[in-house]
Structure 1
Amino acid sequence: MAITDKQKKLLVLVADGEFHSGEELAEALGLSRSAIWKQLSGLAELGLHYTGVSGRGYRLERRLELLNHAKISAALNDFSRASHVLFEIHDQLDSTNSYLVQKSLHGAASGSACFAEHQTAGKGRRGRDWVSPFGGNIYLSILWRFPHNGLGEIAGLSLAIGVAVIRALKHLQIPDIGLKWPNDVCYQGKKLGGILIEVSGEAAGPCAAVIGVGLNVFLSGSEAEKINQPWTDLSKILGQRKISRNTLAACLLNELIPVLIDFEQSGIKTYLEEWRQYDVLKGNAARLFVGNQVIDGIVQGIDDNGLLLLEHLGGRIQSYASGEVSFNNAAV
């Protein structure tokens, strides 16, 4: 369901999580009180549930911090500002990656970025849906063009992006975050976020990548029922300590932009040792799914090209460029 202009205006008014009378809301929006009730019911269909109390009015079940261009811009560091990063904020997209893939076909500049409050068809790995409730998480994509690099030369980009995401979370003093090859962000064995990179171009160059980053900030129990693997979000990790979505959005841009600029010149080698510090798979018995193949072994980290090293029965170690890994009997 698409959010309407009237619903967005109503949402801005009630986002503070406080009670607002039907009369107050009706006057502010130029609607009848019955129309306000209908608009609130429409918000509930987006997962934005509300409470109505006679004599007090309506309020959202939880306070909502909407993404704000001015607040994100104010939190960008000098490097990001000097890089002239251009970002958009959308109320709703099918997916931020799909949006930028289309823009890239029409000449969008390298460094173009977009956030969405809600995705109707968020993308996970291997064609899975990414659960994308309105205003709860971070959905970010960046288009980056590599004019002098071919598709083979940007292999390992997802590992470098993982390092950038870890740096952003550490900057916000979020502890115990790890990385699961090739593109998951984890906390204590549970998935906190993911990275999805879609590439196009020539083997010898030039090429382009659309880099999608999704991070769970708040997921309700009803939304989480759609997830078929152990998961967590920042609200669970931080407890009473709150984190601003706008600050988090800016921190991600502050870390992603310099990594992308550097990766264009140096590739994955700069980030290998840092990535290895956060490797949650190394030393674990694991199962690797490659197409229709299922391969069991012990993960021995990554090689200098960012490929997964899996030790088979008998001690033979083989590297893999792609696949999905599960371990500890959980697909995390």
Structure 2
Amino acid sequence: MHLIKLSAIDSTNDYLKQLNAQNEAESFTVVTAEIQTAGRGQMGSKWLTEPGKNLITSILIKDVLTSPDQIFLLNAAVAVSITQALKKFGIPGLSIKWPNDILSANKKISGILIENSFRNDGRIDSVIGIGLNVNQSDFSDLPRASSLLNIIGTELNKEQILFAIVEEMKRSTVNGLSMEMWHTYNNFIFRLHIPTAFEADGQQFMGIIKGVGTDGKLEVTLEDDSVRRFGIKEIEMLY
């Protein structure tokens, strides 16, 4: 693992993508920052963090994706790797809120943004951005967010957590991406098989999460026992 530590940057993902484009960086090159001024999440949403308190990192992975069809399988492997790493630090009630928010109980503690670059020779490079709330305590403007500090009552070492996440990610990808990882991801899904309120197309309804397809779509059983599939941002869970 090649670790690059920055004090401040606009985006660790952008920095790592530019570094790889200019210098052909090795797989599992990792960039961290104490302050990120233009962090972002899924579908362009912003990721705001208190300087110096949280883990802000981007990780380059190469030669894992063999086709675009595996993109969401990589997403699943990353989400599971973070979840498994946090279990080692005694974080309770861990789950994955589709597609890749990491929760403890019903509080969001981490978000993921994966950006893929497709090379002319068919190779795919993936930059995995992770924001993890570690030692921040104030989430007064974000009632659904929390941190490891708030959950277990003690500060944790951000670098130790980073090393644990990278170790799990290497284990999950060393032999390629497997369907066994997919099953693990589905078993971690937040509110799996539990009646839940949703909103889609301006309408609220009850449904039960059946699972997530390999294309990344959420499969929900409706009240008439039909199954409907939703893409990212097409449905909102009300909880």
TM-score range, shorter chain: 0.7 to 0.9
Cα pair distance change 1:90/1:288, threshold 3 Å: farther
Which amino acid is the alignment partner of residue 94 of structure 1? D
Partners of 2:58 and 2:35 lie apart in 1 by: 13
Partners of 1:250 and 1:285 lie apart in 2 by: 35
Deviation of 1:163 after TM superposition, in Å, equals: 0.7
Deviation of 1:137 after TM superposition, in Å, equals: 0.4
| 1:255 lines up with 2:171 in the alignment | no
Larger-gyration structure (1/2): 1
Is this contact kept in 1: 2:85–2:164, CA < 8 A?
yes
1:121 is aligned, of 38, 46, 62, to 38
Is this contact kept in 2: 1:286–1:299, CA < 8 A?
no
Partner of 1:312: 222
Is this contact kept in 2: 1:150–1:204, CA < 8 A?
no
Number of aligned residue pairs: 236
Is this contact kept in 2: 1:269–1:305, CA < 8 A?
no
Partner of 2:155: 242
Deviation of 1:218 after TM superposition, in Å, equals: 2.3
Is this contact kept in 1: 2:29–2:60, CA < 8 A?
yes
Which amino acid is the alignment partner of residue 98 of structure 1? D
Cα pair distance change 1:217/1:167, threshold 3 Å: same
Partners of 1:147 and 1:315 lie apart in 2 by: 38
Deviation of 1:287 after TM superposition, in Å, equals: 2.8
1:136-175 to 2 correspondences below 5 Å: 136-146=53-63, 149-175=66-92
Partners of 1:217 and 1:321 lie apart in 2 by: 30
**TM-score normalised according to structure 1 size:** 0.64
Q: Where does structure 1 lack aligned partners over 5 or more consecutive residues? A: 1-84
Partners of 1:312 and 1:295 lie apart in 2 by: 12
Cα pair distance change 1:129/1:286, threshold 3 Å: same
Q: Where does structure 2 lack aligned partners over 5 or more consecutive residues? A: none
Identify, as 1 or 2, the structure richer in strand: 2
1:207 is aligned, of 105, 112, 124, to 124
Is this contact kept in 1: 2:137–2:150, CA < 8 A?
no
Partner of 2:185: 275
| 1:93 lines up with 2:13 in the alignment | no
Partner of 1:74: none
Cα pair distance change 1:98/1:324, threshold 3 Å: farther
**What's the CA shift string for 1:12-65, capped at 9, x where partnerless?**
xxxxxxxxxxxxxxxxxxxxxxxxxxxxxxxxxxxxxxxxxxxxxxxxxxxxxx
Partners of 1:326 and 1:187 lie apart in 2 by: 19
Deviation of 1:193 after TM superposition, in Å, equals: 0.5
Deviation of 1:148 after TM superposition, in Å, equals: 6.7
Identify, as 1 or 2, the structure richer in helix: 1
Identity %: 28
SS of residue in 2 equivalent to 1:133: coil
1:210-225 to 2 correspondences below 5 Å: 210-221=127-138, 224-225=139-140
Is this contact kept in 2: 1:286–1:325, CA < 8 A?
no
Deviation of 1:314 after TM superposition, in Å, equals: 2.1
1:37-186 to 2 correspondences below 5 Å: 85-106=1-22, 107-146=24-63, 149-186=66-103
**What's the CA shift string for 1:98-154, capped at 9, x where partnerless?**
111222222222221111111011111221211122110001111112377122233
**TM-score normalised according to structure 2 size:** 0.87
Query: Which of structure 1's runs of 4+ aligned residues deviate more than 6 A?
Result: 292-295
Root-mean-square deviation (Å): 2.6
Cα pair distance change 1:260/1:94, threshold 3 Å: farther
Cα pair distance change 1:324/1:187, threshold 3 Å: farther
Partners of 1:86 and 1:271 lie apart in 2 by: 26
Is this contact kept in 2: 1:92–1:118, CA < 8 A?
yes
Partners of 1:171 and 1:226 lie apart in 2 by: 29
SS of residue in 2 equivalent to 1:237: helix
Cα pair distance change 1:294/1:162, threshold 3 Å: farther
Partner of 1:69: none
